[in-house]
Amino acid sequence: MNICTYSYEEYLQLVKSFHGNLAPGLIIGGFIVDLALKHLPEGEFFDALCETPVCLPDAVQILTPCTIGNGWLTILDFGRFAVTMYEKKGGQGVRVYLDAKKLENWPEIRDWYLKRKKKHEQNLDLLLAQIKEAGHGLLGIQRVRLDPEKIRREKLGPVGLCPVCGEPYPVRDGERCRNCGGESPYTEIAVVETAG
């Protein structure tokens, strides 16, 4: 049993190294990405879409060239456990998702995913064993087409200096940067003189 070009055990090591722990969702995510890559439509360049920010984006980043920083991975906060790989211009692609009907065959996975058991009631060993045994068996596949324009990251455009903080920012955001325009998460700021 492989996950893309890795053995199952190798993939678990990559998960631990990148993600910090053996998150069950990320192991399922490995099977999702593996199945999607096995069903790519025609095309040369594929981008990725995750329909949740939880766990799944790391499976994509570990197993494909698509990352958040290079813009080939888009994340929607739909809370559906699904990855779509799509041809970046035309939008034809394959979507692999967690199939609720198939969950019934794997009660420990079902109760964990649907939150029918509290954390202390879950059996982690059994959960991981069922995930490994299930493999692709939890998943559904759809041929899809999406509109790349709908999820494309806005271009940065011209850059100016914010008159408040003095830092470069995209002038599309208005007369000041979004931080200085009222969205700042910071409550205190003090310059340190040691830089440079």
Residues 56-95 that bind its own copies (CB under 8 A): 56-59, 61, 65, 67-72, 75-82, 91, 94-95
Q: Does 163 bind its own copies (CB under 8 A)?
A: no
CA 8 vs. chain centroid, Å, equals 20
Interface with its own copies, residue 39, by CB under 8 A: yes
Q: Mark the segment that binds its own copies (CB under 8 A) among 4-12, 112-120, 123-131.
A: 112-120
Binding residue (CB under 8 A) for its own copies from 7, 18, 124, 175:
18
Q: Is 118 in the site for its own copies (CB under 8 A)?
A: no
Cβ-contact 123, 111 below 8 angstroms: no
Tell me whether residue 85 or residue 95 sits nearer to its own copies (CB atom): 95
Q: Name which of 1 and 161 has its Cβ closer to its own copies.
A: 161
Q: Which amino acid is at 157?
A: G
Q: Which residues of 36-46 are buried (b: 16+ CB within 10 A; e: fewer)?
A: bbeeeeeeeeb
Q: Are 27 and 14 in contact (CB under 8 A)?
A: no
